[in-house]
Structures are given as structure tokens and as C-alpha cells.
Amino acid sequence: MTDYPTEEQLDALNRMSPIAFNAICEKVCELWKWKDRCHFDGESLLLSTGGWSGNEDVVDSIPDLFKFMHFAANTTGGHWLFSKNGEVKDRAIKALYGVIDEQRLERSRAEDR
């Protein structure tokens, strides 16, 4: 997807049943601009907005009750982690911080050029 998600797409996401974990995660990844920054493994959803407002609009459109039920962690820089059971699992946290470290490494390499 190269453009911002439409209002209709965001509204459809927001109206999804908050208990439809897999469906919401799949829809979020479908709307996500950078597919390599949206990871869904059936148990957890790891997102990195990359600072792009379209991705931030997608996060804002996730149903509030879904966020309440499945929120696991978020960090500065637009990184979000949702867990099917609402639990923070070691592998999910490692994945979250691995993405952050990878992005820091990419920025560092870009600054060195």
C-alpha cells in the first residue's frame, strides 16, 4: 500500500469485534505501509510505525477494547506489542527490542554515510 489508509478502511477496522484477535491483526498488517514493520505470528502483533502518520492512524483505529484486552507493551518511537492472551512473553519482548535495535543500527549506518 503506497497511500494513506482511507477513512472507510480505518472505520472498518475500528468497527471490528475486539475479540477477533486474528482478524484485527491481519487487517492491521494489510493496512500497514511497511510490511517488514508489522509482524503477526498468531500469538502476538508487533508494530513499528516508522513515524509515518498513516501507520499511526491505523494504531489509533484499532478498537479500544482490543487494545485494553491485548496490550502488552509499547516504547518510544512508535513500537507497539499486542498479545493474544494479554501477556508479555519473553520472545515477544525480545522481538520488540530486536526491532528497535535493528532500527537504531540502520539509523547509525545512515548517519555514518
Question: Is residue 111 scored above 50 in pLDDT?
Answer: yes
Closest CA to 48 of 61, 38, 35, 40: 38
Rounded Cα distance, 74 and 47, in Å: 9
The domain locations on the chain are 7-112
pTM here is 0.77
Helix (H/G/I), strand (E/B), else coil: 82? strand
Closest CA to 34 of 16, 14, 54: 54
List alpha helices for the chain, DSSP H: 7-14, 21-31, 53-61, 64-70, 90-112
pLDDT band at 1 (very low <50, low <70, confident <90, very high): very low
Helix (H/G/I), strand (E/B), else coil: 33? coil
